[in-house]
């Protein structure tokens, strides 16, 4: 399913308006709208949802025209069949979890419903919560129920506007696997708003990078997040997303061993089955380079790569781009290091990455091959 958006919207005082002028096409399972606070991400999802009306442009979901300013088409929000999960759960306090969930079904004709209560309860692991009221739920539980309510409306598209922003780190760890499960099991596109690069790296297929109301980049996760740090949000750093396979677990030492075509490496212990694919973000600043045998050093993760580009980064750094058996990797090193190592395009090097450098929030299950 594809989502095509080309809209313009002016907000605020006439003398100093905020102008959103955004255009993108997404055919990925999760499209992340990523950028600094105030970049226009929430405005854009509200335009898609029909909660705001564009001044001009068009919004299409597959063959369905949701808005076309030139043709005078503006489908009301309640008829767009779009689910919306807000930053706060916005559950009805007087209803039980079950009551909140089935409320979402009221707005969808019976013949258009593809989601059942039992399926959604199982997907989100909320069977034990059904008779509780929202006041008795944790933040993560509330968000799972809010997602379930949106899904039970059987939407064609799901919008998630900073769904983890109000949660502490522990609650984020709790809910991200459920969003991964939603991504991998449901045949439905998701637009996911965030300024947290670890969330985007772990969850998204396509990234739309917004800055001051403009789309400055659209593409696959590595293509966008591997750009210059100056393009990214709120001090986020350039890096890439690697996919590897679980080789073994070592609880005694607190690590999981992974296999990648460029070599084996370890990360902090994760709860994934041996053989499962793992998706993880590697920041450019966490990668060191060695020419030849690095010798006896504490860094155990050593991946074989070939230099594909050397470009200027923020002083005093240089961004060295590598090919790791087909996957990209970026290392931010000093100009002195590049000179002393004599690095040039085509050189074979060893990428060194500390196991402790991997943030658990940026490590998760990857979609299995063949999942659409």
| Those residues with Cβ within 8 angstroms of residue 238's Cβ, 6 or more apart along the chain or in another chain | 225, 226, 227, 228, 229, 232, 283, 284, 313, 319, 330, 332
Query: Strand 30-35 vs strand 190-194: parallel, antiparallel, or unpaired?
Result: parallel
Q: What is the pLDDT of residues 150-202, one digit of tens each?
A: 998 889 999 999 998 888 888 888 888 888 888 888 778 899 999 888 888 88
- Contact residues for 370 (Cβ-Cβ < 8 A; gap 6+): none
Domains in the chain, please, with CATH?
A: 3-232 (3.40.50.300), 241-365 (2.40.50.100)
**Length of the chain counted residue by residue:** 372
- For tokens 């996957």, what's the residue? 327
pLDDT per residue over 14-47, tens digit each?
Answer: 888 999 999 999 887 899 999 888 899 999 999 9
Specify the pLDDT at position 370.
38
- What are the beta bridge partners of residue 242? 280
Could you give the CA distance from residue 105 to residue 102 in angstroms, rounded to a whole number?
5
pLDDT of 128 > 50? The answer is: yes
Rounded Cα distance, 216 and 228, in Å: 12
Side-chain-side CA neighbours of 244 within 13 Å: the count stands at 26
Q: Which range, 50-59, 114-123, 238-247, is most confident?
A: 50-59
pLDDT of residue 129: 93
Three-class secondary structure of residue 235 per DSSP: coil
- Note the Cα 8 to chain centre separation in Å: 25
Q: Which two tokens stand for residue 256?
A: 């999981």
pLDDT band at 225 (very low <50, low <70, confident <90, very high): confident
- Could you report the per-residue pLDDT of 82-123, keeping only the tens digit for each? 999 988 778 999 999 999 998 878 877 787 778 788 989 998
Q: How large is the average pLDDT for residues 210-214?
A: 93
Has residue 229 got a pLDDT over 60?
no
Neighbours of 178 (CB within 10 A): 18
pLDDT tens digits for range 307-338:
999 988 777 888 899 999 988 999 999 999 99
What is the phi-psi region of residue 235: left when phi exceeds 0, alpha when psi lies from -120 to 50, beta otherwise? left
């Amino acid at each position: 399913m594809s989502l095509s958006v080309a809209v313009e919207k002016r907000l605020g005082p006439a003398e100093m308006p905020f102008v959103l002028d955004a255009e993108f096409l997404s055919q990925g399972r999760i499209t992340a709208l990523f950028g600094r606070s105030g970049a226009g991400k929430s405005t854009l999802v509200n335009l898609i949802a029909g909660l705001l009306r564009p001044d001009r442009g068009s919004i299409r979901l597959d063959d369905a025209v949701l808005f076309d300013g030139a043709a005078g088409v503006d489908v009301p929000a309640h008829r767009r069949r779009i689910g919306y999960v807000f930053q706060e759960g916005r559950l009805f306090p007087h209803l039980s979890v079950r009551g909140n969930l089935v409320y979402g079904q009221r707005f969808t004709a019976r013949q258009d419903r593809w989601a059942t209560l039992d399926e959604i309860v199982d997907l989100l692991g909320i069977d034990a919560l059904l008779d509780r009221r929202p006041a008795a739920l944790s933040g993560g539980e509330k968000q799972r129920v809010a997602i379930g309510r949106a899904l039970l409306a059987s939407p064609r598209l799901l919008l998630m506007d900073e769904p983890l922003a109000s949660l502490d780190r522990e609650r984020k760890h709790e809910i991200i696997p459920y969003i991964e499960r939603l991504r991998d099991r449901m045949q439905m596109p998701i637009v996911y708003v965030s300024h947290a690069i670890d969330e985007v790296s772990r969850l998204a297929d396509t990234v739309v990078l917004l800055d001051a109301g403009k789309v400055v980049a659209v593409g696959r996760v590595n293509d966008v997040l591997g750009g210059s740090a100056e393009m990214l949000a709120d001090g986020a750093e350039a890096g890439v997303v690697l996919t590897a396979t679980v080789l073994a677990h070592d609880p005694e030492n607190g690590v999981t061993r992974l296999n990648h075509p460029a070599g084996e490496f370890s990360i902090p212990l994760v709860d994934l089955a041996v053989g499962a694919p793992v998706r993880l973000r590697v920041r450019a600043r966490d990668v060191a380079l060695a020419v030849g045998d690095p010798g006896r050093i504490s860094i155990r993760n050593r991946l074989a790569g070939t230099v594909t580009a050397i470009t200027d980064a923020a002083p005093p750094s240089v961004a060295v781009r590598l090919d790791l058996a087909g996957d990209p990797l970026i290392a931010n090193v000093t100009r002195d290091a590049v000179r002393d190592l004599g690095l040039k395009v085509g050189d074979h090097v060893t990428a060194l990455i500390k196991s402790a450098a991997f943030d658990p929030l940026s490590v998760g299950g990857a979609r299995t091959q063949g999942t659409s």
